[in-house]
Amino acid sequence: MSTENIDTEKLGDEIVRVLKTIYDPEIPVDIYELGLIYDVLVNENFEVKILMTLTSPNCPVAESLPQEVQEKVKSIDDVNDCEVEMTFDPPWNKDIMSEEAKLELGML
């Protein structure tokens, strides 16, 4: 295994740690555990692409939440750039949430 793979894997863990500090304002659970993050890609230039969704297309933070994700991920030392792409395919539903999120919200 090359050091490059180790670095991007370590960076991926760091990105997840940062994503877990961002909360949906209406639900007291972080966006990662809520299942709003569909994919995190890191290329060899340490440019990050995040595919995410919102709990609904009419979410009041539709503008600010992706921007917060982008700014916080870009603030990680090893990240050179971050692009956030929004999708509603597949649409978010409560089944996507982690067990931890469901437990937090009393759904288990």
What local confidence, expressed as pLDDT, does residue 1 receive? 40
Average pLDDT, the chain: 91
Task: Answer for the pair 87, 66: CB distance below 8 angstroms, yes or no.
Answer: no
- Fold entry, domain 3-104: GMP Synthetase; Chain A, domain 3 (3.30.300)
Task: Indicate the residue type of 63.
Answer: E
- Preceding omega of 90 cis (within 30 degrees of 0): yes
Residue 66 makes CB contacts below 8 A (sequence gap 6+) with 52, 84, 86
pLDDT tens profile 49-63:
999 999 988 888 888
Q: What is the pTM of this model?
A: 0.89
Q: CA-CA-CA-CA torsion for 45, 79, 22, 39, nearest 10 degrees?
A: 10
Q: Please provide the distance, in angstroms rounded to a whole number, between the alpha carbons at the two ends of the chain.
A: 40
Q: Residue 2: is its pLDDT beyond 80?
A: no
